[in-house]
């Protein structure tokens, strides 16, 4: 059971969840409510239930991307980032602007990285930024095509008006529920992703039948907070989008939410990712998407298909301004709040992480194209402060951010130890063959100070396979390697 301090720290995440629900309710049931096809209370109840289900069942994929961008290893740091983002999102909600919580969260994490001297993973950031551009465009294309399809099919079938209204109401409820599920699955990473790396809750067994992990409990609380935000304050933002940007009819609303749901699913579903990889095709990145941008993109797509002159582009400009202000303000508030929490309230916003350049680390960095001669004299010297380590590296060579990130990733001392008991308890009956398990057991007690060391051992021992060029096989190999590393990790940096 979590203690009182844990509840205090995750309160900022719950506040953020409430803010997200209040601001994003319009994206799932706003069209149904504004068009008066579904009562707000009914919509809020359905949305809340499916948001919680999506958070618990399908929230893991996008959370991994958030942690890659900037793994926050101290709960006080997570508290600061979540609080800063919540304040930013709440301010936008009070202004009746649909803001991108994903953008605000990214701004907050980058603010944390800047304060602590942590390098930002530009690969993860680029995937997220590309989704911000792609999602409204894809949603707009789906909105445009779906409306054209609707116009050539349903609207030509001469369905009685009352019967069409009933079908439309049912359709709005169904797509609203589906979009709510996707909202929870995609955005729980924004709410609780920064807390996921800390063991806040113990695994829970319900009747000895159902096992609920600590992370799932965390996601349940976050989903519940989103649901409460939808129910208590979700109606306000609906007025801006539903009445000002574009006059939404019931059928139009159905198309908009359906297009949004499709986009959310594309960027959230691990099943779709696996299907694309099996076909050896590029996969769609699993990233916390801006549901607001997808929703607005769908509205614009439908508006262009129906009547381009009816779109209020002045309101669109006002909304776009909120997308810029939110991440910038979240980053600034995060930086300032971290300073006060660390220096005034004397709370650790980051735990020391040891870094050391070994021969294997320098060899790997050289293979990656990182100049190693300037930092070779640092071999064997240990650093526990990110800023000091970073400054020492930059003093010796003008490394790029990508090179700095690579050095940090490989130089970190992770401490791995092979344990035959762990092999039997955690890896038995998994993807490992009997021979592979025997190899691990034969190396009981062997330790590795760096991640690259255990990776090379696993490759040499043929416990894991080298890259094959097949996207699905390489992903499975990476997942298996990460599972083994996590099982043998001796030091948990939480």
- Which residue segment(s) compose the domain that 363 sits in? 355-411
Q: What is residue 161's three-state secondary structure?
A: helix
The answer as to whether 349 is a domain residue is no
Q: What is the mean pLDDT of residues 472-485?
A: 88
Q: Answer yes or no: is pLDDT of 492 > 50.
A: no
Count structural domains, the chain.
3
Residues 337 and 365 in one domain: no
Cβ atoms 192, 218 nearer than 8 A: yes
Give the whole-angstrom CA distance, residue 30 versus residue 38. Answer: 10
pLDDT, position 247: 66
Q: What is the mean pLDDT of residues 238-259?
A: 75
Task: Tell me the pLDDT of the chain averaged across its residues.
Answer: 87
The answer as to whether 177 is a domain residue is yes
Q: What is residue 489's three-state secondary structure?
A: strand
Q: What is the mean pLDDT of residues 441-463?
A: 93
- Report CA-CA distances (Å) from 364 to 121, 358, 485: 18, 10, 18
Q: Where are the beta strands (DSSP E) in 204-315?
A: 204-206, 210-212
The secondary structure of residue 159, as a DSSP letter, is -
Q: What is the DSSP string of 178-217?
A: HHHHHHHHHHHHHHHGGGTTS--S--EEETTTEEE-HHHH
The answer as to whether 253 is a domain residue is yes
- Cβ contacts of 153 within 8 Å, gap of 6 or more: none
Among 294, 322, 343, identify where a domain stops: 343
Find the farthest-apart pair of alpha carbons in the chain and give their distance in angstroms, rounded.
Answer: 82
The answer as to whether 113 is a domain residue is yes
pLDDT, tens only, 345-378: 888 888 888 999 999 999 999 999 999 999 999 9
pLDDT, tens only, 372-388: 999 999 999 999 999 99
Q: Answer yes or no: is pLDDT of 123 > 60.
A: yes
Nearest Cα residue to 297 out of 316, 312, 322: 316
Residues 381 and 464 in one domain: no
Residues 29 and 92 in one domain: yes
Give the whole-angstrom CA distance, residue 92 versus residue 72. Answer: 25
What percent of the chain stands above pLDDT 90?
45
Q: Answer yes or no: is pLDDT of 66 > 90.
A: no
Residues 166 and 66 in one domain: yes
Beta bridge partners of 16: none
Q: Answer yes or no: is pLDDT of 405 > 50.
A: yes
Residues 399 and 427 in one domain: no
Cβ atoms 104, 88 nearer than 8 A: yes
Beta bridge partners of 113: none
Instruction: Please give the radius of gyration of the chain, using alpha carbons only, rounded to the nearest integer.
Output: 24
Residues 116 and 142 in one domain: yes
The answer as to whether 336 is a domain residue is yes
Q: What is the mean pLDDT of residues 193-200?
A: 73
The answer as to whether 493 is a domain residue is no
Q: What is the DSSP string of 370-399?
A: ---GGGGGGTT-EE--HHHHHHHHHHH---
Residues 144 and 278 in one domain: yes
The answer as to whether 494 is a domain residue is no
Q: What is the mean pLDDT of residues 38-62?
A: 89
Confidence category of residue 491, pLDDT binned at 50, 70, 90: low
Q: What is the DSSP string of 5-48?
A: HHHHHHHHHHHHHHHHHHHHHIIIIIHHHHTTSS-HHHHHHHHH
pLDDT, position 160: 85
Residues 111 and 144 in one domain: yes
- Cβ contacts of 416 within 8 Å, gap of 6 or more: 447, 448, 451, 453, 454, 485, 488, 489, 490
Residues 78 and 195 in one domain: yes
The secondary structure of residue 95, as a DSSP letter, is T
Confidence category of residue 2, pLDDT binned at 50, 70, 90: low
Helices (H) and strands (E) in the chain, counts: 21, 6
Give the whole-angstrom CA distance, residue 380 versus residue 357. Answer: 6
Identify the residue with better confidence: 181 or 315: 181
Q: Answer yes or no: is pLDDT of 246 > 60.
A: no
Q: Answer yes or no: is pLDDT of 214 > 70.
A: yes
Among 310, 343, 376, identify where a domain stops: 343
Stated length of the chain? 494
Residues 300 and 421 in one domain: no
Confidence category of residue 479, pLDDT binned at 50, 70, 90: confident
Q: Answer yes or no: is pLDDT of 243 > 60.
A: no
What percent of the chain stands above pLDDT 70?
95
pLDDT, position 216: 85
pLDDT, position 146: 95
pLDDT, position 245: 54
Q: What is residue 467's three-state secondary structure?
A: coil
Residues 214 and 104 in one domain: yes
Give the whole-angstrom CA distance, residue 85 versus residue 139. Answer: 25
- Report CA-CA distances (Å) from 18 to 55, 230, 334: 14, 7, 19
Among 320, 343, 366, identify where a domain stops: 343
Identify the residue with better confidence: 391 or 309: 391
Residues 468 and 335 in one domain: no
Q: What is the mean pLDDT of residues 227-248?
A: 73
Instruction: Flag the least confident range among 21-30, 68-77, 479-488.
Output: 68-77
The answer as to whether 251 is a domain residue is yes
């Amino acid at each position: 059971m979590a203690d009182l301090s844990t509840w205090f720290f995750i309160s900022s995440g719950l506040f953020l969840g409430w803010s997200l629900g209040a601001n994003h309710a319009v994206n799932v049931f706003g069209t149904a409510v504004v068009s008066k096809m579904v009562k707000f209370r009914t919509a809020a109840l359905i949305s809340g239930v499916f948001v919680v289900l999506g958070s618990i069942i399908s929230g893991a994929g996008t959370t991994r991307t958030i942690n890659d961008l900037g793994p926050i290893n101290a709960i006080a740091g997570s508290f600061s980032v979540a609080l800063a983002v919540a304040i930013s999102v709440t301010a936008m909600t009070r202004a009746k602007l649909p803001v991108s919580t994903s953008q605000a969260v990214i701004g907050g994490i980058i603010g944390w990285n800047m304060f602590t001297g942590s390098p930002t993973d530009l690969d993860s950031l680029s995937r997220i930024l590309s989704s911000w551009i792609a999602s409204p465009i894809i949603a707009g294309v789906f909105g445009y095509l779906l409306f054209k399809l609707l116009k050539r099919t349903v609207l030509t079938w001469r369905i009685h008006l009352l019967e069409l209204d009933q079908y439309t109401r049912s359709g709005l409820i169904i797509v609203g529920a589906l979009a709510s599920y996707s909202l929870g699955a995609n955005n729980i990473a924004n709410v609780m992703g920064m807390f996921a790396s800390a063991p806040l809750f113990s695994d829970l067994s319900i009747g000895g039948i159902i096992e609920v992990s600590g992370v799932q409990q965390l996601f349940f609380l976050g989903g519940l907070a989103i649901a409460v935000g939808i129910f208590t304050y979700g109606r306000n933002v609906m007025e801006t989008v539903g009445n000002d940007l574009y006059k939404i009819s019931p059928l139009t609303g159905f198309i908009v939410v359906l297009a949004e749901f499709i986009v959310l699913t594309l960027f959230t579903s691990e099943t779709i990712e696996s299907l694309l990889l099996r076909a050896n095709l590029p996969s769609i990145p699993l990233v916390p998407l801006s549901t607001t941008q997808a929703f607005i993109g769908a509205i614009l797509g439908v508006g262009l298909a129906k009547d381009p002159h009816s779109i209020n582009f002045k309101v669109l400009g006002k909304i776009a301004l909120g997308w810029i202000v939110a991440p910038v303000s979240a980053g600034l508030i995060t930086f300032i709040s971290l300073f006060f929490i660390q220096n005034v309230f004397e709370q650790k916003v980051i735990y020391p992480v040891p870094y050391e350049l070994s021969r294997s680390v320098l060899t790997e960095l050289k293979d990656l194209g990182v100049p190693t001669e300037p930092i070779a004299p640092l071999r064997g010297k240990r650093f526990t402060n990110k800023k000091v380590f970073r400054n020492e590296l930059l003093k010796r060579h003008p490394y790029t951010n990508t090179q700095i990130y690579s050095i940090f990733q490989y130089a970190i001392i992770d401490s791995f130890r092979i344990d035959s008991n762990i092999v039997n308890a955690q890896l038995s009956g998994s993807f490992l063959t009997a021979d592979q398990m025997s190899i691990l057991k034969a190396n009981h007690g062997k330790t590795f100070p760096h991640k690259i060391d255990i990776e090379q051992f696993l490759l040499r021992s043929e416990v894991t396979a080298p890259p094959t060029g097949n996207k699905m096989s390489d992903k499975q190999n990476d997942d298996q390697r990460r599972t083994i590393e996590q099982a043998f990790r001796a030091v948990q940096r939480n």
